[in-house]
Amino acid sequence: MKNKKLIKQIGRHTRIRLRIKGNGERPRLVLNRGLKNIFAQLVDDTKNKTVFSLSTLDKEIKSKFPAAGNIKAAEFFGEIFARRAVEKGIKKIVFDRAGYLYHGRVKAFADSLRKAGLEF
């Protein structure tokens, strides 16, 4: 039998995905949060392609935060992610927090994205 929390999380994300769609103009930013790291990617749902992805396992972030499962690392990761997305020409996104509550690391990540210039 699978973990009940995991089954509920998958159900929440499935319901959210039915309503949130990204396109080439406004890709969907998908957030995946683990205990030690955060993963984010921009997805174009019309073409079913990942436009850009980054995680806290990147050399620039890992050198500053070896264990990146905290709020300070999430803020720094948001700044780096936004800067690299703007360099690729992406300024507007649709934020998909994947069923995670909007507090803690998720909120810090989203706030730093807004400060760095992404609109959602």
| Structural domain contains residue 96 | yes
- Domain CATH code at residue 27: 3.30.420.100
Query: What is the pTM for the complete model shown?
Result: 0.86
Q: Tell me which DSSP letter residue 98 carries.
A: T
Dihedral angle over CA of 62, 63, 69, 74, nearest 10: -90
Range of the domain at 13: 4-115
pLDDT tens string 75-104? 999 999 999 999 999 999 999 888 888 999
Is position 60 within any domain? Answer: yes
Question: Would you say residue 120 lies in a domain?
Answer: no
Separation CA 98–CA 52 (nearest Å): 17
Give per-10-residue mean pLDDT for the chain (120 aa).
83 86 89 93 92 93 90 95 94 90 94 93
In a 3-state reduction of DSSP, which class is residue 116? Answer: coil
Q: How many separate domains does the chain show?
A: 1
